[in-house]
């Protein structure tokens, strides 16, 4: 079927196989390969994107379900070449190593800060429970998100 959606602010009308996941749609059709895939069962958070501002696991979310919705992927965060404050904080805090989980964490952090601009450290930890990072030991990621919230709402 054909879906009409807005991806990172750009209107998109595409015919797609109905069995496609949102991850296949953004990666294979739109070439937005920043969204990664790992566990394939909604527990690692690597594939997190926002649909109408809400975080979803693109590995298991059907592409047809974004018909009429707005989708934001990691590629939609930086504004005209300047990093989003969450992205900048991740750079400054060494909050990534291999980087494979990073887009998912950043999208999840954006969702958190949209909901709750000044989360406590515990709020951050709890909100990230569905995202796995195998490299960093999480602490730098938590530091980065706390710092980003301070940068965004001084």
Partner 1 sequence: MTRSAGRSVPRSDARAKVTGEAKYAVDASRPEMLHATIVRSDRAHALIKDIDTAEAAAIPGVSAVITSDDLDGLFPRFGHIVADHPILAIDRVRYYGEPVAMVLAASRHTAADAARLVRVSYEGLPEVMSIAAALEEGAPLLHEERYDHGDESFGEAMSDDWSPSNIAHEVCLEWGDVDAAFTDATEIVETTTHYPMLYAYAMEPYNALATFDEGALEVITTAQHPYQVREDLARIFDLPLAAVRVTSPFLGGGYGSKSYTKVEPLAAVGAWFSRRPVKLALDVEEAIYTTRADSATVTVKSAFGADGMLTARDFQLDLDSGAYADNGPLVLAKAVHRCFGPYRIPNLRVRGRSFYTNTTPASSYRGFGAPQGNLAGELNMDQAAERLGIDPGEIRRRNLLLPGEEVLPGARPLDADLPADLEMVLESLDSSRPRGPLHGIGFGASASDAGAFPVSTATIKVHADGSVTLLTGSTEMGQGSQTALAQIAATELGVPLGSVRVLQSDTAITPYERTTGASRTTTLTGLAIQRACADALEKMMAMVSESREVPVEDVKTSDGVISIPGGGDLTFAEAVQDWFGSRAGEVTGVGIVRKADSTAMLPPFWEIGMVGVEVSVDAETGYVTVDHLATVGDVGYAINPALVEGQDLGAATQGLGAALFEQLIYDGPQPLNPNVVDYRVPRSRDVPRTIDTMLAERRDGVGPYGAKGSGEGALNPIGGAVAAAVGRAIGRWPDRLPLTPEYVWRLMHMETEAE
For β-strands 70-72 and 2-7, DSSP reports them as parallel
- The one among 141, 147, 148, 149 contacting partner 1 by CB under 8 A: 141
Q: Which stretch binds partner 1 (CB under 8 A): 37-45, 63-71, 111-119, 146-154?
A: 37-45
Distance CA 84, CA 72 (A): 13
Could you say whether residue 115 binds partner 1 (CB under 8 A)? Answer: no
Which tokens go with 90?
């991740």
Could you say whether residue 78 binds partner 1 (CB under 8 A)? Answer: yes
Distance CA 7, CA 97 (A): 27
Q: Which stretch binds partner 1 (CB under 8 A): 64-72, 88-96, 112-120, 146-154?
A: 88-96
Could you say whether residue 135 binds partner 1 (CB under 8 A)? Answer: yes
- The one among 60, 75, 123, 152 contacting partner 1 by CB under 8 A: 75
- Minimum Å distance from CB 71 to partner 1? 14
What's the burial of 135, exposed, middle or buried (CB within 10 Å: 0-12/13-18/19+)?
middle
106 φ/ψ angles, rounded to the nearest 5 degrees? -65, -40
Helices (H) and strands (E) in the chain, counts: 5, 5
- Minimum Å distance from CB 51 to partner 1? 17
In the complex, which residues of this chain contact partner 1 (CB under 8 A)?
17, 19, 27, 32-41, 43-44, 46, 73-75, 77-78, 83, 87, 90-92, 94, 96-103, 106, 124-126, 128-129, 131-132, 134-142
């Amino acid at each position: 079927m054909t879906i009409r959606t807005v991806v990172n602010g750009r209107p998109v009308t595409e015919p797609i196989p109905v069995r496609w996941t949102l991850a296949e749609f953004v990666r294979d059709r739109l070439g937005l390969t920043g969204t990664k895939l790992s566990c394939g069962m909604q527990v690692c958070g690597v594939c997190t994107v926002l649909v109408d501002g809400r975080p979803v696991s693109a590995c298991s979310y059907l592409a047809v379900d974004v018909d009429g919705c707005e989708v934001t992927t990691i590629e939609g965060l930086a504004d005209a070449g300047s990093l989003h404050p969450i992205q900048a904080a991740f750079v400054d805090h060494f909050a990534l190593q291999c980087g494979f989980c990073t887009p998912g964490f950043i999208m999840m952090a954006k969702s958190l800060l949209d909901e709750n601009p000044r989360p406590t450290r515990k709020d951050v930890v709890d909100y990230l429970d569905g995202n796995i990072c195998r490299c960093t030991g999480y602490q730098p990621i938590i530091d980065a998100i706390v710092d980003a919230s301070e940068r965004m709402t001084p």
